[in-house]
Structures are given as structure tokens and as C-alpha cells.
Amino acid sequence: MYDTRGARSSARARASAAVLGAAALLLAGCSSSDGDRAAGATITQQPRSADPFWVNPDSTAARRLAAYEKAGKKTEAAQIRKIAEQPTGEWIGPENPEREARGFTEAAEKSDRTALLVLYDIPHRDCGQYSQGGAADGNAYRAWIDGVARGIGDRPATVVLEPDAVLHLADGCTPDQFHEERYDLLKGAVAKLKSLKNTKVYLDAGNVGWGHPDQIVQPLRQAGIDRADGFAVNVSNFYSTEDSIAYGKQLSAKVGGKHFVVDTSRNGNGPYTGGDPAEKWCNPPGRALGATPTTKTTDPLVDAYLWVKRPGESDGTCKGGPKAGQWWASYALALARNSK
């Protein structure tokens, strides 16, 4: 098996945690243009010129920050603030896609920012790993995408579409009998989302460690990359920004010069090289926060550095971690302490 599961882990993590995101919808009517005091901690939006993405003032990290401040734990609070004040992906849950998408995009619009959404509900998801599941069937998935689209409406949104879904078609992890339907679902999702006025869509395209760009070119084409704004690399993984850009540029040259985004949420120290290679994607020790989200990147093909994976949430029950998507305080603090 290729090293693909860094994406799944956060994706699986996100899938588990996405349901919790519904609570964040309560803040939709409470967002200000510059900052909020949610859960007791003041959270400020980043400068729009460099980072136009919305910071959720009621995120798990923001709540943990508030708890540390209330307890007088200034050192811990200072570390977690590094996470809480950056925009991270909002992973839409399976139950209320329209309500969640509307809540996040409305809150972002009120702050004059763009919502960053991650969609991860494809049927037969994650090859039976930590985030297995997804929509019950193709019709359920189409209805879910329709709900997300209604929730977004004309408001600005950047969408990372289905971490690992294309990759698992390319690496053989997804059984052959599901391939045709998955391509149809992905192509339909791209078309539906791109019919919206202010939505950008990036199909997930794997990472440096899983294989060669040639292996995913045709799957991306069949999944609708021609209509998408581009693709995403390193989702929930740890490969360096430099290596991820090199991978992305190789792939871009093969899919019509499409632009791409890089997940830099936890790649500050690069990939983990010790322990079991099969699980180097799952809660590896010694990692660090990477470059903060921005549209001011080092390459014209790179539209943004994003924190698609939410730092501090577990990749799964490995290395002593809680279930995928649950907050792991010690790991979050380590990521922040190790950051440059």
C-alpha cells in the first residue's frame, strides 16, 4: 500500500469531527468583521490581502485556548493560539450539509472572508480504514452535494473535494466495481459546485509519498479536473512545501497547467522517517505546524497554502491517540511548540 493515508487520516478525522462542526453554526450570526470573542477567547481574522480565508472564532482550538486562558495556563494558551488564529478547513458532516455549509459561508461573508470547506462523504470511503463509511450510495451522495451547494449559494467558498477519492482509484485501494460510479459522482460534484457563482473547487490529488504523478493523471481527468479550478496536494500529510510544490508542478504540466493548493498544516518538520513506514502518516511524533495559510505563495501555479487538516485533531487510534478527528491536546501543543 502506498503512503496515501495521511489524507484519509485527516479526512477520516474530519469526517468524525465534521458532525461537531454543526455547533459552529451557532456563531453564524455572531461574527464581526475583525474579531470575535467566542468561548471566551478573542480571535482575530488574518489580514485579508494575504489570507482571505475565514478564521472560525468558535473552533475547537479557540475553545481550548479559552480554557487555558481561564485556567491561567499562559504558556499553553500562547501555543494553542498559533492554531486558533489561523483559518482551517471546515469538514462538512453527513447529516446537515445545507445547514452547515450555509452557517460557515454566512459567517465568513460577514467577516468579509472566504470559507474553506472540505467535502468528504464519497461512498466506500477510506478503504475500510479509520474513516470508512461515506454516503450510503450514489443517490445519497448526489443529494448531499446538492445540500452543500444550496448551503453555499452565491457566497464565497473554496472547496477541497474528497480527500483520497481519486487517489484510491489510482492505487487500486477502491474495488474495481465502484470505479465507474465514483468517477461519475466526482465529475457531478465538480459540475454542481462550479455552477455556483463564487465557489472554487480543488480535487484532491495525493502527495509526494504515494507514487508518481503519471499514475493519477487519467483518474483526475475522468473525475472532472478540466472543470475544476485545480487540485490539492499533501492533504493531511507531512511532506515539505518545497517537495509538494515540485510534485504539484509535475502534475500540473500533465493536466493542462491547472493551478493547485498545498496543505501546510503540519509539514513544518517534513515527513516522519522513523518507526513503521506503513503508519508514518498517523500521528507521527516530532512534527510541526507549517507555513501559515496565505494566497501569497512562492509559485504562480500555487494558489494558496492552506490548513486543510485541522492541527491538533488525531489521525486515529495509533501511537496513543484518540479516535480520528478528536482533539489531542498533547499532540496539538507539540505541533505548536515545534513550529518555527
Catalytic positions, please? 126, 164, 315
Are 174 and 5 in contact, with CB atoms under 8 Å apart?
Answer: no
Which ranges of the chain does DSSP label H, i.e. alpha helix?
Answer: 5-18, 60-70, 74-84, 97-110, 138-152, 167-170, 179-194, 214-222, 241-252, 329-338
How far is the CA of 161 from the CAs of 67, 165, 213, 233, 279, in angstroms?
Answer: 33, 9, 18, 11, 24
Residue 178: other Cβ atoms inside 10 A: 16
Read off the amino acid at residue 169.
L
Checking DSSP bridges between strand 35-38 and strand 157-161, what pairing results, if any?
Answer: unpaired
Phi then psi for residue 263, to 5 deg, are -80, 115
Q: Which of 104, 60, 47 is nearest to 309 (CA)?
A: 60
